[in-house]
Structure 1
Amino acid sequence: MDEATDEAEERTRGKLDEITRLCLDSLGEGTWAIVLWLLVWQLASFLIGSSLILAGPFQVLVALLRLLPTAAFWSIIASSGARILTGCLIGYLVALTLAALAYRAHTVRELLQPAMSVAKGTPIVCVIVVLLIWFGSESVSSISVFLLVLPAIYFSVLEGLDRLDPAMRELFFVFRIRGLQRQLAYVWPGVLPYLVATSETAISMSWKAGIAAELIGVPAGTIGERIYQSKILLETPDLFAWTAAVVLMAWACERAFITLLRHSAPASIRLAARLRPNRVAEPPGEIQARDLLIGYGETAVACAPSFELPAPEILCLSAPSGSGKTTLLKTIAGIIEPLDGNIEAPASMSMEFQDARLIDELSCVDNVLLVSARDLTRDEVCGLIEEILPEQVADAAAGELSGGQQRRLELVRALAAPSSVVLLDEPFAGLDDAARTAALDYIDRHLEGRTLIIATHDVRDADELGALVLSIAGA
């Protein structure tokens, strides 16, 4: 061994010692486990005593450091990476499209189910062999990755769509948030957790499938070809070095993509708040209900007497908790159909639900902007919020607010939205006397001639609002 080689190995040992020291100092995020397995690997290599059979981590690091400065190394990484990432990206796009179609059309779902199940269950090696026969070695890597990613992402996105929060679906329905704005603020954030969970496996598996395809097809200028050549020439340290490069590339791509996905949800919701259509309220109209029997599915909850509510008017639904007030509000809003009888009401409504339905990651201002008219400015919304909440709250995330503050923010949202009818379900629940008085004054200032229907079990509310009272009887 010449002096240059000795010096190179000494420098490498010094670098390895420094890396080991840093890892041991940090001892977090699983670093100790990595160090432990490196030591096990080194011990196994030492006991075997042949780098031809098992190269140790030091020998692999020397080989990798020898490859890193060369242009050929990066050209090969780029060539294989481009194939793998292209197949992965196309797989994601096609899977997202097909999942959306399957969610909307049951026939499409039934048609795709067998094909996706077969693609998911077929061993990747069998797929690669068939693809080599059909397409040759140059494109087999991309196609293999595509076929691996497609069913995994399809099934996860479809599951996310099936499990979208029904409570938030009602919110978006009542406030007439549709089209692209609905996709950005409701669908994408709802699907994202399922997509992230699958991507944490799918991205690294894409690299495995792509390199496996290259190993079998051996296209020129790829990582698979270099691993195959290292095996033929018995260059075990180089074989391990290329394998380590694949592992690092897979890890880097996975972390970068997962980070991008996770940051896409708040960005998507903020964009939705800025893409407000020009919503306008219908002219005030009368609400008429005749012989209503209300409930869910085939289960009746309550009977509501017939009533006619001219515009503008305030109606108080008075009944104990559990008597069907919420069900009647949802029936008026069109969320559920009456089991019997009929109801006629204007289409433009806004609503404060009984349970909190804010987008927690979004600021208070953006929660209101999401449902407001296009001509309502951000400063104006801040002013509306600060009338009833502390000044510093406006730009805080809605999820950071207390329960009482969230109730008041939802009241601001309901009154800021363009609507002919405002529906409030227990708007003063959880508020102390001072906050309740402030909320009543706020309603008085911002109702602006609209019809108001409020569900409450507090007899004071009807008197203080000057409202008509409608009692509900259980079914």
Structure 2
Amino acid sequence: MDTNPPIDKKTLSVRALTRCAPVAFWLVVWQVASMLDSSSILLCGPLDALFALYRLSSTQTFWSSIWFSTLRIVAGVLLGYIIAGALAAASWHTSTVRILLQPALLAIKSTPVACVVVILLIWTGAANVSVITVLLLVVPAIYFALCAGFDNMDAGQRDLFEIFGARGRRRFFALIWPAILPYLEAASSTVLGMSWKAGIAAELIGVPAGSLGERIYQAKLLLETPDLFAWTFCVICLSWLFEHGAMALLRGTWPRAAKLALRAPRDLRASGHGSSDASLRAQGLLIGYANVPLSKPLDFALGMSSRLCLQAPSGTGKTTLLRTMARLQKPLDGALENAAQGRSMMFQDTRLVEDLDAIDNILLFARPGFTRKDARDLACELLPKDALSRPVRELSGGQRRRVELARAFAAPGELVLLDEPFAGLDAQVHSCALAFVKRHGAGRIVVFATHDADDAQALGAQILEL
């Protein structure tokens, strides 16, 4: 329900007046200033410019010039984004590429547009100079923005997608795109407007036949000041429309991109669970960081439908052991043999795609053949129905944890790792969550960390004390 109070007509009128008054003021200043120049050569009035625009717009030359320049500037922008994206992706995967590209792109970024245009005129001629000029403006700005987005991608979310084995379009649309989008928007808000300035400047220097730059240059030569202002107004309008239209499209890609991720093929590492030879064995396993062990060497053997409860005070290695089982880090010593097909994990901290609802978060990593109805039925075992269709950022902490618990068991894989899955749940919900794990853990190896010894007993789990 919309709780915002309605806006009355008087308020709307005041807002409209506040926006229009400054524009009207400067139009009056412009008109008065033009009247001081009786020849109208140095400065024409707004009415003269408007009449010139009306006269020009009735000619075929006007529209062909707009099409000529718009096509080339937009093409330069699109090519620049594509090239910058490819280079940024290559730099993200290979540091050598970034090292090699850095000086070249910094040099392009620092070179004045006029110098670039002059060099391009020598190399390519005037016809397409605006395309290449705009491209060279766009590539460095978007490249460095995308690199910043890749570098600052949330490590926890990357681990999440790694654990569940999401690849291809699912990984791009649900993980990479929301990470780089804020950086892309920030760079685009500047680049899109500057692209028109650079493109028209290139045409003014190169004067390609049929371009807006040529029309502006001719108006200057013939001292047709009203035409000069009319053509300039067209460039301003085209730049504004292009920038705001492109930015609206860019902002509208999220969370729509996540919906595309849901429709992508489920190219997950495991396609099922329940094989009779699923096992997880440790022999002399030593876990820790930077060669500093967190516990004594560990030995255990788990088979299908086994449940292992990790118990220890905080900071003594439960999460580290789970991360080692998940292959997110290597053991310091010993052997860990994992014959289970695939894995899923519920992390100690909440890791969800915040703008998706509970059902979509579950479906994002669900096993092939798992339908939306299946996801709803699974979620209803843990969550109230009114929590299913809301973005998970609007749910309580306990509800968010239950979404993650349902997601862990909807995913394919025979090894399920749960880090403090019952933390923050009241007694009734805690009991419901225990029953859920017991019910859906059949045919899987379930390893969970908890501070409550009763949880191990309720699930019939063997206890491993660190």
TM over 0.5, shorter chain: yes
After TM superposition, the structure 1 stretch with the greater mean CA deviation from structure 2, 73-82 or 258-267, is: 258-267
Match of 1:277 among 263, 267, 285: 267
2:49 to 37, 60, 79: 60
Matches within 5 A, 1:17-416: 25-26=15-16, 38=27, 41-42=30-31, 44-45=33-34, 51-275=40-264, 276-277=266-267, 279-281=270-272, 283=275, 284-298=277-291, 300-303=293-296, 305-345=298-338, 346-416=340-410
What one-letter code is carried by the residue in structure 2 that aligns with 1:329? Answer: L
Q: Which moved more, 1:270-279 or 1:421-430?
A: 270-279
**Same amino acid, percent of matched pairs:** 49
Q: Counterparts of 2:92 and 2:356 in 1: how far apart (Å)? A: 27
Amino acid at match of 1:160: G
Any idea what SS the aligned residue of 1:264 has? coil
For the residues of structure 1 that align with 2:24 and 2:52, how far apart are their CA atoms? 20
Change (3 A) 1:211 1:464: same
SS at match of 2:252: helix
Cα shift at 1:33: 5.7
TM-score by length of 1: 0.89
Partner of 1:3: none
447 and 265 in structure 1: CA distance in 2 versus 1, 3 angstrom threshold: same
Instruction: Flag the 1:60–1:320 CA change in 2: closer, same or farther, 3 A.
Output: farther
Q: 1:70 to 1:351 in 2, by over 3 A?
A: same
Q: 1:342 to 1:378 in 2, by over 3 A?
A: same
Q: Deviations over 1:97-136 (max 9, x none)?
A: 1111111112222221121111111111000011111111
Q: 1:235 to 1:327 in 2, by over 3 A?
A: same
Deviations 1:388-433 (A, max 9, x none): 1122332222222111111111110001111111111111122111
CA offset at residue 294 of structure 1?
2.3
Q: Provide the rounded CA distance (Å) in 2 between the counterparts of 1:300 and 1:56.
A: 80
Instruction: Tell me how far apart the structure 2 counterparts of residues 42 and 320 of structure 1 sit (CA, whole Å).
Output: 78
Change (3 A) 1:378 1:105: same
TM-aligned CA distance change 1:304 to 1:471, over 3 Å:
farther
Paired with 1:339 and 1:31, the residues of 2 have a C-alpha distance of 69
- Give the superposition deviation at 1:23: 9.0
Number of equivalences: 450
Are the counterparts in 2 of residues 296 and 336 from structure 1 also a CA contact under 8 Å? no
Larger CA deviation: 407-416 vs 334-343: 334-343
Equivalent-residue separation in structure 1 for 2:440 and 2:62 (angstroms): 67
Q: Is residue 452 from structure 1 mapped to residue 446 from structure 2 by the alignment?
A: yes
State the shift of 1:310 in Å. Answer: 2.8
Question: Does the 8 Å contact 2:113/2:198 carry over to 1?
Answer: yes
Q: Output the CA distance in 2 between the equivalents of 1:75 and 1:433.
A: 73
Aligned to 2:7: none
Secondary structure (helix, strand or coil) at the match of 1:379 reads helix
Q: Secondary structure at the match of 2:301?
A: strand
Write the distance in 1 (CA, Å) between the matches of 2:314 and 2:23.
57
Q: Identify if the C-alpha distance between structure 1 residues 39 and 156 changes in structure 2 by more than 3 Å, giving closer, same or farther.
A: farther
Distance 2:66 2:90 in 1: 36
| CA offsets 1:46-80 (integer angstroms, 9 cap, x no match) | 66676422334444333334334443322211110
Residue 8 of structure 1: aligned partner: none
Aligned to 1:427: 421
C-alpha RMSD of the superposition: 2.3
Contact 2:271 2:368 in 1 (8 A): no
Amino acid in structure 2 at the alignment position of 1:344:
E
Deviation of the 1:347 alpha carbon: 4.9
Gaps of 5+ in 2: 1-11
Residue 14 of structure 1 is matched in structure 2 by none
- Residues 303 and 152 from structure 1, CA distance in 2 versus in 1: closer, same or farther, beyond 3 angstroms? farther
Distance in 2, matches of 1:386 and 1:448, equals 19
Q: Which residue is 2:6 aligned to?
A: none
Looking at structure 1, the residues matched to 189 and 25 of structure 2 have their Cα atoms a distance apart, in angstroms, of 24
For residue 342 of structure 1, give the secondary structure of its aligned residue in structure 2: strand
Which residue identity does 2:408 align to in structure 1?
A
Q: How much has 1:371 moved relative to structure 2?
A: 0.7
Give the match's secondary structure for 1:53.
Answer: coil
Unaligned runs of 5+ in 1: 1-21
Aligned position for 1:461: 455
Q: Structure 1 residues 347, 35: closer, same or farther in 2, change over 3 A?
A: farther
Q: Distance in 2 between matches of 1:398 and 1:306?
A: 39
Are the structure 2 counterparts of residues 471 and 249 from structure 1 closer, same or farther at C-alpha, using a change threshold of 3 Å? Answer: same
Say if 2:170 and 2:261, in contact at 8 Å, map to a contact too.
Answer: yes
| Counterpart position of 1:441 | 435
Q: Distance in 1 between matches of 2:432 and 2:281?
A: 31
Query: Is the 1:317–1:453 contact (alpha carbons within 8 Å) kept by the matching residues of 2?
Result: yes
How big is the shift at 1:292? 3.1
Please say if residues 344 and 416 of structure 2, whose CA atoms lie closer than 8 Å, have aligned partners that are also in contact: yes
User: TM-score, structure 2 length as denominator?
Assistant: 0.90
Matching residue's letter, 2:362: V
